[in-house]
């Protein structure tokens, strides 16, 4: 099975965070990753924020290298007009920020709206709640 990965989970693969062992376990069970088009840029943003908050340059370089390695192998859902429209619908239905609406709309586009048996990997509580309401299974399990 292939899982849709939110940026929060991707970043946890790249850094040593409390959730890192859980997402590494998910990746070992299923190494295929599907992401939204802006995930790499969102990941770089998160790493840059970590540097401002004290992550050393060695840790940041290592995390960027891992992010680039992941990006070379993941499947990326591209922005389209239908994805844009779906994100706007999701904003009206769920308590989401715009970026999370794009994440969820990409996940829905990836599975063609057939969420039964499909998983979203995320640590973002709002995104997890909306994904659950849309029918996705959530990973890592809490």
Model pLDDT, residue 30: 93
pLDDT (0 to 100) of residue 2: 83
- Domain harbouring 74, CATH code: 3.40.50.1010
Q: What is the pLDDT of residues 53-105, one digit of tens each?
A: 988 778 889 999 999 999 999 999 999 999 999 999 999 999 999 999 999 99
How does DSSP assign 62-78, residue by residue? HHHHHHHHHHHHSEEEP
How many domains in the chain? 1
Give CA–CA dist 48/42, Å, rounded: 10
Q: Which domain holds residue 41?
A: 3-139
pTM listed for this prediction: 0.94
Model confidence over 92-131: pLDDT tens digits? 999 999 999 999 999 999 999 999 999 999 999 999 999 9
């Amino acid at each position: 099975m292939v899982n849709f990965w939110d940026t929060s989970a991707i970043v946890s693969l790249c850094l040593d965070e409390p959730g890192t062992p859980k997402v590494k376990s998910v990746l070992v069970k299923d190494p295929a990753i599907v992401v939204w088009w802006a995930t790499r840029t969102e990941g770089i943003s998160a790493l840059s924020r970590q540097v401002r908050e004290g992550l050393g340059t060695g840790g940041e370089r290592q995390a960027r290298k891992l992010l680039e390695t992941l990006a070379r192998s993941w499947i990326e859902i591209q922005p389209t007009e239908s994805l844009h429209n779906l994100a706007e619908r999701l904003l009206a239905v769920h308590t989401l920020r715009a970026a999370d609406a794009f994440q969820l709309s990409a996940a829905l586009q990836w599975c063609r709206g057939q969420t039964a048996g499909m998983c979203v990997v995320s640590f973002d509580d709002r995104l997890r709640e909306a994904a659950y309401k849309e029918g996705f299974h959530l990973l890592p399990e809490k």
